[in-house]
Amino acid sequence: MPGSRHSRFASAHDVELCGFAATGERRAFGELVRRHGSAVRGVLRRMGAQTAEADDVAQDAFLTAFERIAEFRGEGTFAAWVKKIAARIYLRRLQRDRRLTLMTAEAIEDEADPPRGDADANIDLEEALKALGEAERLCVSMCFGAGLSHTEAAEALNLPLGTVKSHVKRGLEKLRTRLAPEDGVVLEGRRGNG
């Protein structure tokens, strides 16, 4: 009875759903897509993908995840795993269309001071990300949104590790000036996850 199966899946934990999906149960995987689709599409949009492209890539990422569901060991969350897959697929698209080369080249030349934000203004993340160069936005989103380490991001982008770190550092500096501080904390520093 399809209705009861759907309700059973709706109350199941992600790990259980992955187990069902591993046996070929597509409705269980559909429940996972229902739960985490928005998050995956959101990360892709924040990486700079247009709405339609983000949806295409997210669909491909979920299909890939279904094919490779047996590889998911439950070490992290399912959403984090699919986000990484989606980020890599998006990067491959950029490389295939030669958009990535242009993007990183432009970013290296772009050394202008970031526009200063009003610290009291509560600017959301989407708006703040618009202040970043494309490569900075990509690197920051990959590391903080898709959960890739600097090394993984460098490998995926086919860029030297130092270049990725520079993009992330500059991106964080710009974001810090755009995002209103929480509880009046003065924010400085950088990420160093290798």
Partner 1 sequence: MAELEFERRLERLFAEAPELADAGAFAERVERRLDAGWTARRWLIGAAGVVGGVIGASQLMVSGLFQRVETAGDSARLLSTSLNHLSTSTDWITAISSGGAVVWVAAGLAVIMMGFVLTRVIGEI
- Tell whether residue 6 is a contact of partner 1 (CB under 8 A): no
d(CA 191, CA 29): 34
Is residue 26 near partner 1 by the rule CB under 8 A?
yes
Which residue of 46, 88, 150, 178 would you call a contact of partner 1, by CB under 8 A? 46
Residue of the chain from 8, 16, 22, 59 that contacts partner 1 (CB under 8 A): 59
| Nearest alpha-carbon partner for 78 in 13, 171, 151 | 13
CB contact at 8 A, 143 and 157: no
Output 122-130 pairs: Cβ under 8 A, ≥24 positions apart.
122/180, 123/178, 123/179, 123/180, 125/46, 125/179, 126/46, 127/178, 128/174, 128/175, 128/178, 128/179, 129/46, 129/175
Q: Residue 27 or residue 92: which is nearer to partner 1 going by CB?
A: 27
- Judged by CB under 8 A, the residue of 63, 64, 92, 119 near partner 1 is 63
Q: How far is the CB of 95 from partner 1 (least distance, A)?
A: 23
Identify which of residues 20 and 29 has a Cβ nearer to partner 1 in the complex: 29
Q: Binder to partner 1 among 55, 64, 92, 95 (CB under 8 A)? A: 55
Residue 99 binds partner 1, judged by CB under 8 A: no
DSSP state of 69: G
Using alpha carbons, select from 95, 85, 24, 78 the residue that is nearest to residue 60. 85
Which residue ranges make up the site for partner 1 (CB under 8 A)? Answer: 24, 26-27, 29-31, 33-34, 37-39, 41-43, 46, 55, 58-59, 62-63, 66, 125, 140-141, 144-145, 172, 175-176, 179, 182, 185-191
